[in-house]
């Protein structure tokens, strides 16, 4: 993943970030085990551990690809400030993109 993506992610306004779509990579397999999630990247043959929130985020992504929909679900489930949630999502999505586990599409202007 080139740096341009992260510059885009860093500089994207909140409203555009909300409208971004996040797609799980087809080569990523996921399984929840108790409070943790395990993602297996078949391409890199690497495993990634997700904590409870990361696991829930991944599970929501299976059905909801738009960031704004993900936010809506998470706000219903967690007692968290929306701006804090947005910041955390940027971090999580950035990490997952860096690992090649998700693809993000920003809305065209």
Name the site residues for another protein (rule: CB under 8 A).
26-27, 29, 31, 33-34, 36-38, 40, 42-43, 45, 47, 49
Rounded to an integer, what distance in angstroms lies between the CA atom of residue 97 and that of residue 77? 24
For another protein, the closer CB: 36 or 81: 36
For another protein, the closer CB: 47 or 78: 47
Residues in the chain: 109
- The least CB distance from residue 29 to another protein, in Å, is 5
For another protein, the closer CB: 17 or 48: 48
Q: Do the Cβ atoms of 78 and 53 come closer than 8 Å?
A: yes
Select from 90, 94, 105, 102 the least CA-distant residue to 28: 102
């Amino acid at each position: 993943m080139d740096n341009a993506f992260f510059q885009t992610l860093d500089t994207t306004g909140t409203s555009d970030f909300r409208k971004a779509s996040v797609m799980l990579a087809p080569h990523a397999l996921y399984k929840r085990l108790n409070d943790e999630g395990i993602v297996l990247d078949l391409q890199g043959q690497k495993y990634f551990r997700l904590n409870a929130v990361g696991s829930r985020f991944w599970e929501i992504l299976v059905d909801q690809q738009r960031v704004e929909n993900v936010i809506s679900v998470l706000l219903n489930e967690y007692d968290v400030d929306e701006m804090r949630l947005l910041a955390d999502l940027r971090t999580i999505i950035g990490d997952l993109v860096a690992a090649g586990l998700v693809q993000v599409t920003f809305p065209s202007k």
